[in-house]
Amino acid sequence: MSVACPVCAAVDLAIEARGVEVLLGDRQVLRGVDLIVPRGEVVALIGPNGAGKTTLLRSLIGLVPRTAGRIRLLGEDDLDRALPRIGYVPQRLVVERNFILSAREFLAIRLRRTRGWFWQSHKSIDACFGEELERLGVSSLLDLPLAALSGGQLQRVLIAFSLLGRPELLLLDEPTNGVDQPGEKTFYELIGEVHRRHRLTVVLVSHDLSMVYRQATWVYALNGVVCCQGPVDEVMNTDSLKLAYGTHVSPYHHQHVH
Amino acid sequence: MFTEPFMQRALLAALFLTPLCALLGVFVTARRLAFFSDTISHGTLAGVALAFWWGWSDPTVPMVLFSLLMAAAILWLKEHTELLTDTIMALLLSGSVSLAMILFSFLKSYRGEVHRFLFGDILAVGAGEVVAAGVLLAVVGTGLFYRLSDLSLVTAQEDLAHVCGIRVRRLNYLFSLVLTLTVAMSIRLMGIILVSSLLVIPAAAARNLSRNLRQHLVGSVGVGVLSGLSGTMLSYELDAPCGPTIVMAAISCFVMTLVVSGLAGRRFKGMRHSA
């Protein structure tokens, strides 16, 4: 008889991934990764380039096939049953310039009531979106084609897209990629706000340790395997980061320098 | 001109095929599948040659079969080799055309036929083809609007589509199948060489004046039907080949939308400067 982990049994888990192995080409990107995320946490995946952060995120939702391991999302073993309750923001949306899907049409796809957007008036579509878009700063972008949006604007639209589905779990891949520095802070404030208001679980992949320091409650340092994990203060201040990043690491979290 | 049965058939075929191609064209241009449709249409020439080789007078069935064969070959090679899609298609296109031309060289009595298939023949559109085009338009048009959200999302971003529970692979195969059948059905009217222009030009013309996908789809269908019908009638009046006349009509539309969008753009720019 297997003995259940007392912690896991007691806590409601958003993600329970064990022994995940992924092979991309000839390279074993993930070599047995365990990722346990209780509901309501903001968990950051950090690590150097090629550490498998993005791959781990993508393998969770079946975008990358795994060669071994078991994944349970939101208490479901069957990915198809969990997917409708998950929001995903990909690393960057490469928008085909020839495809002029407007932000309104794109967002309408996410809602059951507006999936027939072709036959609906803009007014009735916007009425279905609710006030959330205003808070996300997206409502002024609805008429623009996705291809015309700047990196930061597009990221907001993508967040809005995933939030419209009322997810319980939000997966963000390198959310500040392509966003300029002034835009970045507000973006993370946005994530924090969304997390507090919707009480959803957030897993984000990031290079930016200062951001991790501000927003995450728990950190996984990854480099093919989980090098270390723990509350932000512990992980970010120990030598364990060196394990993940190598020896010449400088976790720049701008502590009280300003 | 409207009393002649062959003209009625040609106009009906144009009326059914142009909106179909125009709708698909919006996605063909966005997904860069113009070369894919070109390869498939050229592949049908080998079907024509084989049909004549076997002594069949109506090559429609072998043409459809060969178009499906070409599509399957492209998709199979894409998945099972490291070759780039461009390379695969160039290989299949030149291979199938070469095979067809060698076969035609043995069939001396059919040599004049090649031209009719390359550039389309208004007289070649039979009643059966008109019915098939109508059915295809009804089925594909309904299916496309029923799955418009799914298709749009897959075109914009496949990973997001997957997360939204869309069967991306199945939808892509289905789209390829529909595109292949549409191309095969349009060849008698447009000709092998020009058929993909019916997909590309209306979408490109409408693109100049559209600001969202709905406008793009509506505009593309409008340009397609307009150039299809006017081109067919013009080809009758001028006694010119049908396919090229339709293409020229569509290109006229494209130039007009380009000029209009240029003028509108200049006006907007002027407004911005004065502001």
Residue in A90, A101, A105 closest to B159 by CB: A90
Task: Determine which of A22-26, A42-46, B166-170, B263-267 has the lowest per-residue pLDDT on average.
Answer: B263-267
Cross-chain residue pair A101–B31, CB shorter than 8 Å: no
A111 and chain B: CB distance < 8 Å anywhere? no
A105 and chain B: CB distance < 8 Å anywhere? yes
CA distance B185 to B61: 10
3-state secondary structure string, A7-48? HHHHCCEEEEEEEEEEEECCEEEEEEEEEEEECCCEEEEECC
Q: Which of A79, A81, A93, A109 to mutate to test the interface with B (most CBs of B within 10 A)?
A: A109
Helices and strands (DSSP H and E) totals, chain B: 12, 0
B112 and chain A: CB distance < 8 Å anywhere? no
pLDDT, tens only, A183-212:
555 667 777 777 887 788 999 888 777 777
ipTM, interface predicted TM-score of the complex: 0.88
What is the pLDDT at residue A134?
Answer: 84
Closest by Cα among B175, B179, B187, B177 to B47: B187
Cross-chain residue pair A109–B149, CB shorter than 8 Å: yes
Percent of chain B with pLDDT over 70: 96
Secondary structure class of A222 (helix, strand, coil): strand
Strand A86-89 to A169-173 pairing = parallel
A65 and chain B: CB distance < 8 Å anywhere? no
* Band of residue A251 on the pLDDT scale cut at 50, 70, 90: very low
What is the pLDDT at residue A59?
Answer: 94
Distance from CA of B218 to the nearest CA of A (A): 10
- How does the average pLDDT of chain A come out, rounded? 81
Helices and strands (DSSP H and E) totals, chain A: 11, 9
pLDDT, tens only, B41-54:
999 999 999 998 88
Which residues have CB under 8 Å from B145's CB, separation 6+? A118
A88 contact residues in B (CB cutoff 8 A): 159-160, 163
A107 and chain B: CB distance < 8 Å anywhere? no
Closest by Cα among A15, A37, A29, A34 to A67: A29
Query: Whole-prediction pTM value?
Result: 0.87
Whether B245 has a pLDDT exceeding 80, the answer reads yes
What is the pLDDT at residue A228?
Answer: 83
Cross-chain residue pair A98–B207, CB shorter than 8 Å: yes
Paired residues of A219 in beta bridges: A44, A230
Element of type H or E holding A69: strand A68-73
Domains and their CATH numbers in chain B = 5-193 (1.10.3470.10)
